[in-house]
């Protein structure tokens, strides 16, 4: 137990364990069916799809739920409600990165980078403004948000600015994705 208290990488360890847990949980067929059935719950299903949309391991399930919802809800409704869910999911990742993970990673950087070369790069004036911009581009894309959220968390962005930015970008991205799903289904059928 004393070893765990002195372990510097508690959050990284929990993160890896949670990824492994989610992976195995996603292999359970009844869990997959439950997630797909969320599509019939309308607005609640859109919210849950938004939360699932932000993670690498659940993005496919989130898109599947969004495609089911696209048949019954308008793209604007889905974009706003799923965007709120995605913003909340992103905010949980952002808080984790901002509050805990950066401390653990800075400990690693201090151990690995004795000459502070990496620190000099992170605090250069060119690098400091590119982190939030790259993070915003990744969040707005249909790709999972973890890396973009991490970039924004490292940049020391304020919580409320991040939440608003994430909500707007995710809402636009999900709206465009739902439109694309409707266009593709219309062309195929």
Task: Give me Rg for the CA atoms of the chain.
Answer: 19
Backbone angles phi, psi at 125, to 5 degrees: -70, -25
Instruction: Identify the pLDDT of residue 87.
Output: 94
**Residue with the larger pLDDT of the pair 137 and 39:** 137
**Residue with the larger pLDDT of the pair 145 and 180:** 180
Provide the domain limits for residue 126. Answer: 2-188
Average pLDDT over residues 143-150: 70
> Which of 46, 59, 180 shows the shortest CA–CA distance to 188?
180
Q: How many domains does the chain have?
A: 1
Give the contacts of 153 (CB within 8 A, at least 6 positions apart): 93, 94, 96, 97, 98, 101, 102, 162
Average pLDDT over residues 159-183: 91
b/e string for 130-158 if b means 16 or more Cβ within 10 A? Answer: ebbeebbebbbeeebbbebbbbbbbbebe
The three-state DSSP-derived secondary structure of the chain is CHHHHHCCCHHHHHHHHHHHHHHHHHCCHHHHHHHHHHHHHCHHHHHHHHHHHCCCCCHHHHHHHHHHHCCCCCHHHHHHHHHHHHHHHHHHHHHHHHHHHHHHHHHHHHHHCCCCHHHHHHCCHHHHHHHHHHHHHHHHCCCCCHHHHHHHHHCCCCHHHHHHHHHHHHHHHHHHHHHHHHHHHHHHC
* CB-CB contact of 162 with 94 (8 Å): yes
**Residue with the larger pLDDT of the pair 188 and 62:** 62
Q: What are the tens digits of pLDDT across the range 98-142? A: 666 556 556 655 666 565 555 555 566 666 667 777 778 878 776
Q: What are the tens digits of pLDDT across the range 59-104? A: 777 888 888 888 888 999 999 999 999 999 988 887 776 666 556 5
Give the contacts of 171 (CB within 8 A, at least 6 positions apart): 79, 80, 82, 83, 84, 86
**Residue with the larger pLDDT of the pair 169 and 99:** 169
pLDDT band at residue 189 under the 50/70/90 scheme: low
């Amino acid at each position: 137990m004393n070893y765990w208290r002195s372990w510097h990488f508690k959050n990284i360890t929990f993160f890896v364990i949670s990824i492994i847990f989610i992976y195995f949980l996603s292999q359970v067929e009844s869990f997959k069916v439950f997630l797909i059935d969320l599509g019939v719950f309308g607005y609640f299903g859109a919210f849950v799809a938004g939360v699932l949309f932000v993670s690498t391991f659940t993005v496919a399930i989130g898109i599947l739920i969004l495609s089911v919802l696209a048949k019954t809800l308008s793209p604007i409704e889905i974009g706003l409600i799923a965007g709120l869910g995605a913003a909340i999911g992103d905010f949980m990742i952002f808080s984790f990165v901002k509050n805990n993970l950066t401390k653990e990673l800075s400990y690693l950087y201090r151990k690995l980078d004795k000459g502070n070369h990496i620190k000099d790069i992170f605090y250069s004036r060119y690098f400091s403004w590119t982190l939030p911009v790259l993070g915003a581009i990744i969040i707005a894309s249909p790709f999972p948000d973890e890396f973009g959220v991490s970039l924004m968390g490292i940049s020391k962005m304020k919580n409320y600015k991040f939440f608003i930015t994430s909500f707007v970008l995710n809402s636009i991205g999900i709206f465009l994705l739902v439109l694309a799903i409707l266009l593709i289904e219309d062309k195929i059928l």
